Chain A
Amino acid sequence: KQEVTQIPAALSVPEGENLVLNCSFTDSAIYNLQWFRQDPGKGLTSLLLIQSSQREQTSGRLNASLDKSSGRSTLYIAASQPGDSATYLCAVRGGPTSGTYKYIFGTGTRLKVLA
């Protein structure tokens, strides 16, 4: 059974810092991995999607890496801003070997960027 863990559960940093959020998963037979952002009281918004064959994806100040063999992904946020304050979740999608294409989520990292 796939399990996804995110550490730390909460993080507080001063504005301008570069930071790394971690995601680990137990079954390396994944189809892809997505990072999401969730603002309070809102739905989730997809930030980056990494295919199982890829090592990283970049979008603006965000960079996500994937090491399938070790069951790890990181989300790097450069030059953090107060507007980056939100909860960040990762999710892995099963693929043909698991027989399903469902997403399993981590519990998220709550990020606060202090002005």
Chain B
Amino acid sequence: DAGITQSPRYKITETGRQVTLMCHQTWSHSYMFWYRQDLGHGLRLIYYSAAADITDKGEVPDGYVVSRSKTENFPLTLESATRSQTSVYFCASSEIRAPNEKLFFGSGTQLSVL
């Protein structure tokens, strides 16, 4: 199916473990984004990518690592999970020029760090 998919949908992990959240889009959009959503903070940008092998930090990048070896995939890794990283994580993609300049979101990954 066309679109942007995130996996897993739910994840429970322990403090100190490494966790990778997956994001896959089928539109070949150049831009991909990772956001976290927390009560009281709204959506905050973690990392974004303008193309394969081009990534840059957002507002809250500490403790996270991204890679983009292929245009369609943009995994987010928590190197050593902490309780403060408990959140809902959203992946999104878009182009710069019409008609695909809208931002499209995945369904999110709810991560709990115990």
A contacts, CB < 8 Å to B: 31-32, 34, 36, 42-46, 49, 89, 91, 100-108
Q: Does B90 contact A (CB under 8 A)?
A: yes
Which residues of B are found within 8 Å of A42, using beta-carbon distances? 107-108
With A43-B90, A46-B103, A91-B103 already in contact, the answer to whether A101 and B50 are too (CB < 8 A) is: yes
Chain B binding surface SS class: strand
- Chain B nearest CB, measured from A62 CB (Å): 14
With A89-B43, A103-B45, A106-B42 already in contact, the answer to whether A43 and B106 are too (CB < 8 A) is: yes
B32-53 with Cβ < 8 A to chain A = 33, 35, 40-45, 48, 50
With A43-B90, A44-B90 already in contact, the answer to whether A103 and B33 are too (CB < 8 A) is: yes
B contacts, CB < 8 Å to A: 31, 33, 35, 40-45, 48, 50, 56, 58, 90, 92, 96, 101-108
